[in-house]
Chains A and B, each alone.
Chain A
Amino acid sequence: MSFAVKASSITKQFGQITALADVSFSIKPGEIYGLIGPNGAGKTTTLRIVCTLIKPSSGTLTIFNQDVVKQPEKTRQNISYLPEESGAYPNLTGWEYLRFMAKLQSKSGTDVKEIVNEAATICGLGDRLKDRAKTYSKGMKRRLLVARALMTRPQLAVLDEPASGLDIMHAYHIREIIKRYVKEHGVTVLLSSHNMLEVEYLCDRVALINKGRLVLEGEPKELKVRYNGENLEEVFMRVVGYA
């Protein structure tokens, strides 16, 4: 079977610290896959390896059969990354930011204007796109960035805590964007969150990470049944031995 992402025995050392230890998982095309775990568990490190920002100390990781270490340039053509709590350039307007990123992210020959219009539709910010990003609220900024991450219809969108710290309205909007966009365009999504309820709602499958190790993987429904939990939060606490 061909996987969108296939990680095999990934380990990452930062000096004496082991951030990831022997992590393996695979994601099917068109799937929304969630990495969940507490702060410092290794979620962001995993996403950074997937996005070619850092290299694993050992193990292999392929994205649509391309090795991220051996073919980072090719990998970057097929992915889009949204870092946690990232910002936009404060002195660019929303339109300018989207146009700038569309030029960098799009493949040659594609219509940048079309991509930017798509992003405008996704984020739903309307006329506020004419304003500079520094005037946006946190929620508006996040909507702009999620739209930026999805506008080129990448094969794999990697979203680090996409709705973290947002109010209920903006968080809801962002979840809806992700869910709808995947269905419409068949984009594969790898996201991380420590909000287990959010992950349960969004993801087809999840992996629980704790202290750099992948401790559990499966569909949310199946995991809840297996561990007799009402939600993924309870499942996680049982798996790591706190409940």
Chain B
Amino acid sequence: MLKGFTTILLKELKELMRDPKILIGMIVLPLIMFPVLGLVLGYAVDTAQQEAQRATLLVVDNDGGNWSSIFVSYVNQTGMNLVLVNNSSPQEIVDQGLLTQSNSSTFIVIPTGFSANLTRHDSGDLTVTGTVNVYSVFNGGGGIFSGAGGSIAGLLVQGFNRAVAPDLIVTSQSSIIKGVIEEGVNASALSSLMLSQSFALPFTIMIMITYAMQIAATSVAMEKEEKTLETLLTTPVDRFAILMGKVSSTIIVAGAASITVLVGYTYMLGSLSLGVTSGLGSGVDLVALGLVPSASGYVLLGVSLFFTLLSALALAVVMSAFSENVRGAQALVGYIYPLIFIPALALIYLDFNSLPLALKAVFYAIPYSHPILASKAVVTGDYGTVIFGIVYVAVFTVVIMYIASRLFATEKILTAKLKIGRQRKQLKE
């Protein structure tokens, strides 16, 4: 054994484990974050399952023949809630709002000639099959449960083929995007694609906010540690000017960061195309489907990002006022990280629109959810959600800035210290 190794090892472990930054970042944070994330996802899965059990399937019978009746009877036997409509085109179903009325996100169209084709197949012409057309609403949420309706319809057809006649029916999947039918575009595959690309922005936002908070906290804490803040506070300068000068410089950095993220994100979406959804093998890109934000969508997303960063920076400034030094400030800011990580990670997997109200309220209350919600909302043109988020985060920022200005105006900026588990004021002498 190396001489002194154990002694040094024990000392190092003591130092590391007593450092709140390491304790929070490596032990406490994962212990809190992942169970909470698991609870959120579990709750969402339960809710989705309950929704699926209550789901209604709309079947449009444009054939009216023998085989279409058999198919409808089969669907009825599975226990699914069924709404039957006769002689309507897919676009009429969408335009008349029948999906909303029947609380459904998917409908199956049995086309004219369906029974005739199956009769020919039954008579020995195996080259002929019956086709049912499945239309699923694509809401742009990109969650793991998106496109579930289309999958259920697909499973029904598979079940029918197994129970009644092998390979008798094939399905053709199409999407309803913003009220417009996109023939041949599989909503499930589109959701998978959106899910795969939806990782990029939340991760970037997560990194950007945490990094910006560290910079702002370090900036104030360094002023305290080096006592340059004490010097500044004794100059004949308005204390609010000191605070605003500090925050404004980080606003400029935040603005630049928002623009950089948007430029990269725009390029990524613009270059993304999908070639697997069409049964005919033709490529479908997101720009053509209108699943890329418009110019005003990008502006709103930028504003949302900017205000979120601003609120994070203001909060970091306030929190660092309670620390004695840079390490302390970084540790304090670490407490905020779960509020950044959990919404970012959860909203990658979850379709916000399908979440229960209570969970929605929790996500709405967390300011750092909003740019992630905005990134999805601008795709579907849901600008109301984005604007609400911007207003909410702006109000939150104003409140935090007010608290910060009060701190700077009093001696608390020098004397207040927050300790883990207790709050106490200390004096130097």
Contacts and interface: CB of A to CB of B under 8 A. Distances in A.
Contacts of A54: 411, 414-415
Interface string B221-234: 00000111011111
A79 B426 CA distance: 26
Interface string B392-429: 00000000000000000001001100000000111111
A83 B414 contact: no
A86 B231 contact: yes
A45 B226 contact: no
Interface stretch (A3-11, A34-42, A119-127, A221-229): A34-42
A79 B228 contact: no
B215 to A, nearest CB: 13
Contacts of B230: 48, 51, 53, 81, 83, 86
A107 to B, nearest CB: 8
A15 B233 CA distance: 23
A138 interface: no
Given A14-B425, A40-B429, A88 B234 contact: no
A209 B234 CA distance: 24
Interface string B213-249: 0000000000000111011111111000000000000
A85 B227 contact: yes
Interface string A191-225: 00000000000000000000000000000000000
A165 interface: no
Contacts of B237: 104
B228 A77 contact: no
A243 interface: no
Contact of B226 (A39, A41, A86, A107): A86
Interface string A71-101: 0010011011111111111000000000001
A142 interface: no
A77 B427 contact: no
Contacts of B415: 14, 54
Contacts of A73: 236
Contacts of B232: 104
Contact of B429 (A15, A45, A80, A87): A45
A17 B427 contact: yes
A59 B429 CA distance: 19
Q: How large is the interface on A (under 10, 10 to 19, 20 to 34, 35 or more residues)?
A: 35 or more
Contact of B227 (A77, A79, A87): A87
Given A54-B411, A54-B415, A86-B228, A81 B234 contact: yes
B407 to A, nearest CB: 13
Given A45-B429, A87-B226, A88-B228, A51 B234 contact: yes
B227 A105 contact: no
Nearest to B225: A87
A15 B425 contact: yes
B414 A53 contact: yes
A222 B58 CA distance: 104
B428 A76 contact: no
Nearest to B230: A83
Contacts of A153: none
A21 to B, nearest CB: 13
Contacts of A19: 427, 429
Contacts of B228: 86-89
Interface in A10-60: 14-15, 17, 19, 39-45, 48, 51-55
Contacts of A53: 230, 233-234, 411, 414
Contacts of A87: 226-228
A39 B429 contact: yes
Contacts of B427: 14, 17, 19, 45
Contact of A76 (B226, B234, B424, B425): B234
B428 A52 contact: no
Contact of A55 (B227, B234, B411, B429): B411
A107 B235 CA distance: 11
A54 B427 CA distance: 11
A179 to B, nearest CB: 23
Contact of A41 (B227, B231, B425, B429): B429
Given A14-B426, A54-B411, A76 B236 contact: yes
Interface of B: 226-228, 230-237, 411, 414-415, 424-429
28 contacts: A14-B425, A15-B425, A40-B429, A41-B429, A42-B429, A45-B427, A45-B428, A53-B230, A53-B233, A53-B234, A53-B411, A54-B414, A54-B415, A55-B411, A73-B236, A76-B234, A76-B236, A79-B234, A80-B234, A81-B234, A83-B230, A86-B227, A88-B228, A89-B228, A101-B231, A104-B236, A105-B236, A107-B236
Q: Which 3 A-B pairs have the closest CB atoms?
A: A87-B226, A86-B227, A54-B411
Interface of A: 14-15, 17, 19, 39-45, 48, 51-55, 73, 76-77, 79-89, 101, 104-105, 107
Given A76-B236, A86-B227, 5 more contacts: A14-B427, A39-B429, A73-B236, A89-B226, A89-B228
